[in-house]
Amino acid sequence: EDQVTQSPEALRLQEGESSSLNCSYTVSGLRGLFWYRQDPGKGPEFLFTLYSAGEEKEKERLKATLTKKESFLHITAPKPEDSATYLCAVGENRDDKIIFGKGTRLHILP
């Protein structure tokens, strides 16, 4: 059973069309939930860490939220340069692993 499930697998939006990416997780005790952005041929770039339900963090057009079972990455009025794969990962209290979902490929059309 996957600990981290991201949806949708791929998403195409028009420039300016806001949307949300979902990350659902199953862990016994959440140490942290992490969001990354990855461009083709590059390593993942750290975006946010969320620690507890109700927490929100923002960076430019991105806003991450967290509940007890899932996290959302909201993208407001996206631009073509926001096109990338967005990765979600979780860390559990019982060990020091960081486990990733398979990502959402986001493509913003001009």
Binding residues (CB under 8 A) for another protein: these are 31-32, 34, 36, 41-46, 49, 87, 89, 91, 95-103
Shortest approach of another protein to residue 3 CB, angstroms? Answer: 10
Shortest approach of another protein to residue 110 CB, angstroms? Answer: 27
- When the beta carbons of 75 and 90 are compared against another protein, the nearer one is 90
Name the amino acid, one letter, at 108: I
**Residue 13, CA atoms < 13 Å, CB-side half-sphere:** 24
Cα separation, 59 vs 45, in Å, equals 13
Yes or no: say if 8 and 106 are a contact pair by the CB < 8 Å rule. Answer: no
Structure tokens at 70: 């899932």
- When the beta carbons of 13 and 47 are compared against another protein, the nearer one is 47
- When the beta carbons of 79 and 94 are compared against another protein, the nearer one is 94
Shortest approach of another protein to residue 86 CB, angstroms? Answer: 12
Name the amino acid, one letter, at 85: T
Shortest approach of another protein to residue 42 CB, angstroms? Answer: 6
Cα separation, 26 vs 101, in Å, equals 11
